[in-house]
Structure 1
Amino acid sequence: MASLADTACASVRSNAGGARAPSGLLSYASLHACTLHGDRRLSLPLLALLLLLHFRILAAAAGSHFSPAVSRLASRLRLSPSMAAVTLLAMGNGAPDAFASAAALRGGGGMPRAGLAAVLSAGAFVSAFVVGAVALIAPPHFAVPPASFSRDVFLYLLAASALFCVYLSAEIFLWQAVALVLFYAFFVGLVFYMDLGAAAPGKPVVGSAELDQMADALPVSVEHQKRQRARLWTVLTKVTRVWDWPVTFVLKLTIPSTLPSEWNKFYICANICLCPLILLYSFSSFIPLDSRIVFLLPHIRFPLWSVVLLVSFCLALSHFHFEKEAPETENIASTLISFIMSVFWISTMAGELLNCLATIGVIMDLPPAILGMTVLAWGNSIGDLVADVALAKNGQPTIAIAGCFAGPMFNMLVGLGTALVMQTARVYPKPFILEFHVGIVVAFVFLLLSLMGTLLVVTWARYRVPRFWGYCLMGLYILFTIVSIAIASSSG
């Protein structure tokens, strides 16, 4: 048994040195095969805990840092609520999906198929299950704006249909991948044009209060629910807070605060010291961290990371010495850096999440498609579910419904589209081959059915969302999940 474990460990280490090994903070395959000697009883619980940790960091970075930064950037840029919803807020909901799916598409083996399956399954989850949940929680037969609702659902339906046709051809060319990204740009332009036409003269465009309410609706709703839990939930909440403390601490060290009221000298100095080093790490594939450069002393070459760390540390010390009070107004530079660092954490944790899921799939001998259609789709979309339901409970069901289509559309067109552009550019002028799988076809069919059904039913009900349709959508998604798991389990 020991020899088998040693052989597996040696194989993992040899693959880790290859070009196709996935980059990341941890090597989960080595953790399983070498550190834990291939023992599933130890590996699976530990990897499950790491998976939960990645989910928690991803959710905290998106909810506590990315969303407020997006909201304040929208206010500074004077974006209308609808415009912000299809640009910045769509990035907030779709960024975890987009980064994880792009990382999957760049991977080897069956992970490209898992990435595509995750995009479609996440879209089906949000457009069916989340829309159904909002319809059940919101006031009965609530109305939606006819023009914007029809625009969002129809264009999402059109984009999904076009991608389905491309997938059935089993190959995608560079121009087709670029067209996916440009289609979302067209969608944003159309929203901007319609907003200009709908804006009344003299009416302020900025919706910062609404944007802040959207960004803060989830924490407020969750805190309100926590106060009403039983004693068991109180104990679980305390355990969760113990888990959350190191996550919150690390994120505060690396993501600047955007409000003067949240100013803290220690955290600001830590941001100045650590953010440049982290940004350098994010570009390590282009500029190696250990690149030798001449700095101050001639004929002596220092590693690039040490020079960046020294300069940023000196800047942090000077800030600690000279800055005594919080700024009087919000600093746009801090908001931009907060936005960038939040994107870094979302991207990094999405990649770690994907690598951890891939290792779990290998250990449990699960097909890649079943990972993409279940765990990866649910994990990245659970934030959409909780956030949109919270908005519906706070009396904003129309905003919640709009978010159910803008986020997945951004994920499919920009996230997946950008990854496909990179892959097709790599093999240009040849097409990038798309691996056929019946489970992905099923995901396309269910996604298109949910979108067409919602468009027809809501239009028939005079742009009101009937409660019965909420039950139908949730039942449709449950059926999709059962069918997808059965297909993935049987076909592999």
Structure 2
Amino acid sequence: MRSAIHEFPDDLFTNNERKSGAVLLHITATLYMFLALAITCDEYFVTSLEKICEKLDLSEDVAGATFMAAGSSAPELFASVIGVFITHGDVGVGTIVGSAVFNILCIIGVCGIFAGQVVVLTWWAVFRDSSYYTLSVVALIAFIYDEKIVWWESLVLVIMYAGYILVMKFNSSMQRFFMGKSSKNVANGNAATSSEMEDVKPSKAYSRGSVVMVDEMMNASPSKFRFPEAGLRVMVTSHFGPKTRLRMASRLIITERQKLVQAANGVETQVIDGKVEIENGTVPEDKPTEAEENDTISPFHIPRGVGSKIKWLISWPLLLLLFFTVPNCAKPRWEKYFMLSFILSTVWIAVFSYLMVWMVTIIGYTLGIPDVIMGITFLAAGTSVPDCIASLIVARQGLGDMAVSNTIGSNVFDILVGLGVPWAMQTMCVNYGSEVMINSRGLVYSVVLLLGSVALTVLGIHINKWQLDFKLGVYVIVLYAVFLCFSIMIEYNVFTFVNLPMCMEE
């Protein structure tokens, strides 16, 4: 089997030079590509998708399950496309399987350990996503078991995703049917009517150590914040898909913290008087705040704080490149160019993903690590870090369902679209009737381990009485370590013979 490294342009360094230390440059380049993907997705791609959803007048659940899921899972999707069409290897499948496990175990673990409080979860959100996800993984195991994918198998995966969109479309009705109308747990993002929202009172009961709760911000200066009226209403309704709810929540929380810091530094924040109108579950945008937020990522605006300045300095070449090549449709003057912003940001995500997979392939080849292991470990963690940060921000505010639902929900997209669409393109469009070969037999075992990790996580949440806390966090992190150990040992033929040794050549 021809090595995947030969599908890319020749490297500047020889294999011996890389082994002597040049591989560190490739590792640095890969980490920089992770940063590039995070900035492009969060600041340009997701913003353009929000505008597209607005113009198409999509319901929030459908938007969350389609465009918003694509926003955070774009790196995994492009890694999969590169794996199918360029390297003809397992790096894309490995990335998606690894990212799926990272999302479920590592992100939930980080949220449990660092949330700083006990977060109560609702069974419906976890049950809905984990059930459909389990179905997706079972289908994936059945299809890759014979080590090849044919056209109808890829089509089934895509159709299953259409089914998931339908489930999200009727999410509110299904939740009422299964849970009844008695669910009023506002803190965790369950259904709450407008009349119920009037009774929400700030409470000090959530405070734990250094955690700054939203309600404490409200008490600090109630007249200056529109957050409880606008932001909280957006976050607590179950009419929103997990992606949209998570992104809105983390963005609003960050915005409020910025306002709080500015107020403490004596900088006045302009707030428009009057009530915010809630119509069809949407909230008018706070334009001054949006302008402030966009300024902080501008290459011409140096942020406050030592940490922010260092991050800005490292990101500066990327910020400058994107500033001049992609119109930022979050700004009023570029708002009508949202489709151009979508296309150009997609092109940049494709370029950064290609460079990332290229660098990772060289690192794996130099160190004698199979593509699947590089995908399951290094690439998976790198492409999932933005989601991890967003989930942690939300979990620290007590919105546990949103954090957990996001991690499982994005996995459904990764498996059904991230794998299904590139496979369908190859077997039905590019070369009709062809087959996509799965080179690593060990990947089947990794996917079976993935199914086991979902079952053990849900079981752990159930035994822990649907509470996300430090104990559950440690439990799932240990599960993640066990999964990685088993996957790596399987790929290195410790238990059974699944892979031929890598051919090293000069």
TM-score over 0.5 (shorter chain): yes
Question: 1:89 & 1:250 partners in 2: Cα distance?
Answer: 24
Listed as ranges, the matches of 1:5-20 within 5 Å are none
Alpha-carbon distance between aligned partners in 1 of 2:374 and 2:246, rounded to the nearest angstrom: 34
Aligned equivalent of 2:75: 96
* Inter-partner Cα distance in structure 2 for 1:253 and 1:404: 33
Q: Which residue of 1 aligns with 2:323?
A: 252
Please name the residue that 2:441 is paired with. Answer: 437
Q: For structure 2, which runs of at least 5 residues remain unmatched after alignment?
A: 177-190, 196-233, 263-304, 494-498, 502-506
Deviation string, structure 1 residues 149-191 (Cα, Å, up to 9, x no partner):
3121100011101111222222222111111011011100121
Structure 1 counterpart of 2:35, one-letter code: R
* C-alpha contact 1:138 1:397 (8 A) present in aligned 2: no
Structure 1 outlier segments of 4+, above 6 Å: 199-209, 221-224
Counterpart-to-counterpart distance in 2, 1:223 and 1:45? 36
> Is the contact between residue 119 and residue 398 of structure 2 (CA under 8 Å) also seen in structure 1?
no
Relative to structure 1, the CA distance from residue 431 to residue 57 in structure 2 (aligned partners, 3 Å threshold; closer, same or farther) is closer
CA contact (8 A) 1:134 1:389 kept: yes
- Measured against aligned partners, the alpha-carbon deviations of 1:219-254 in whole angstroms (never above 9, x if no partner) come to 659979x99xxxxxx766544322211111111112
Per-residue CA distance 1:70-114 (angstroms, 9 max, x = gap): 334444444454433322221122111111122112234xx5222
Q: Which residue of 2 is the match for residue 118 of structure 1?
A: 95
C-alpha displacement at 1:40, in angstroms?
4.3
Question: Does the C-alpha gap of structure 1 residues 84 and 465 become closer, same or farther in structure 2, counting only changes over 3 Å?
Answer: farther
| 1-structure distance, mates of 2:43, 2:411 | 21
CA distance in 1, matches of 2:339, 2:357: 27
Distance 1:343 1:377, change over 3 A: same
1:139 to partner: Cα distance: 6.7
Q: For 1:405 and 1:207, locate their aligned partners in 2 and report how far apart those are by CA, in whole Å.
A: 15
Check whether the contact 2:246–2:403 (CA below 8 A) recurs between aligned residues.
no
What residue in structure 1 maps to residue 40 of structure 2?
A: 61
Please give the residue correspondences for 1:407-418 in structure 2 after superposition, counting only pairs within 5 Å.
407-418=410-421
Instruction: List alignment gaps of at least 5 residues for structure 1.
Output: 1-11, 228-233, 269-330
How far residue 148 of structure 1 moved from its aligned partner, in angstroms, is 3.4
Q: Does 1:393 align with 2:396?
A: yes
Instruction: Tell me what 1:44 maps to.
Output: 23
Match of 2:248 among 207, 210, 213: 213
> Which residue of 2 is the match for residue 157 of structure 1?
134
Q: Report deviation, 1:475.
A: 0.6
Q: Which amino acid aligns with 2:316?
A: W
Please give the secondary structure, in 1, of the residue aligned with 2:83: helix
Which whole-Å CA distance do the structure 1 matches of 2:469 and 2:306 have between them?
38
Q: CA separation in 2, counterparts of 1:218 and 1:363? A: 43
Contact 2:69 2:410 in 1 (8 A): yes
For structure 1, which segment, 429-438 or 415-424, has the greater mean C-alpha deviation from structure 2 after superposition? 429-438
Give 2:295's aligned residue.
none
- 381-390 or 46-55: which moved more? 46-55
Deviations 1:376-425 (A, max 9, x none): 11111112211211221234322111110121211111011111113323
Range that drifts further, 334-343 or 454-463:
454-463
CA deviation profile, 1:235-284 (whole Å, cap 9, x unmatched): 665443222111111111122122345x4xxxx7xxxxxxxxxxxxxxxx
User: Aligned ranges for residues 64-463 of structure 1 at < 5 Å?
Assistant: 64-108=43-87, 112-138=89-115, 141-195=118-172, 213-214=248-249, 216=251, 237-260=308-331, 263=333, 331=335, 333-425=336-428, 428-429=432-433, 431-438=435-442, 440-459=443-462, 463=466
Stretch moving more, 193-202 or 406-415: 193-202
Query: When the two structures are aligned, how many residues end up with a matched partner?
Result: 393
Residue in 2 that maps onto 1:293: none
Say if 2:134 and 2:451, in contact at 8 Å, map to a contact too: yes
Separation of aligned partners in 1, 2:173 and 2:122: 16
1:335, distance to aligned residue in structure 2 (A):
2.4
Q: Which amino acid aligns with 1:474?
A: I
Amino acid at match of 1:213: M
Q: Specify the code of the residue in structure 2 equivalent to 1:432.
A: V
Q: 2:11 aligns with which of 25, 30, 37?
A: 30
Contact 1:85 1:406 (8 Å CA) reproduced: no
Q: 1:459-486 CA distances to partner (integer Å, 9 max, x unpaired)?
A: 5666544653322211100111223333
Deviation by residue 1:165-218 (Cα, 9 ceiling, x = unmatched): 222222222111111011011100121023466699999998699576336258
RMSD: 3.7
- The answer (yes or no) to whether the contact 2:123–2:466 under 8 Å persists in 1 is yes
Normalized against structure 2, the TM-score is what? 0.68
Measured at CA, do residues 489 and 240 of structure 1 come closer, stay the same or move farther in structure 2, by a change above 3 Å?
farther
Contact map agreement 1:132 1:469 (CA 8 A) in 2: yes
- Please give the alpha-carbon distance, in whole angstroms, between the structure 2 residues aligned to 1:127 and 1:470: 11
User: 1:31-57 CA distances to partner (integer Å, 9 max, x unpaired)?
Assistant: 224xx9945446323222322221121
Letter paired with 1:437: R
Amino acid at match of 1:185: A
| CA displacement at 1:433 relative to structure 2 | 3.1
The structure whose residues are more often helix, as a share, is 1
Residue identity in the other structure for 2:441: H
Q: Deviations over 1:323-346 (max 9, x none)?
A: xxxxxxxx3x32232222222221
Taking only the aligned residue pairs, the percentage that are identical comes to: 23
8 A contact 2:394–2:402 mirrored in 1: yes
Counterparts of 2:310 and 2:20 in 1: how far apart (Å)? Answer: 24
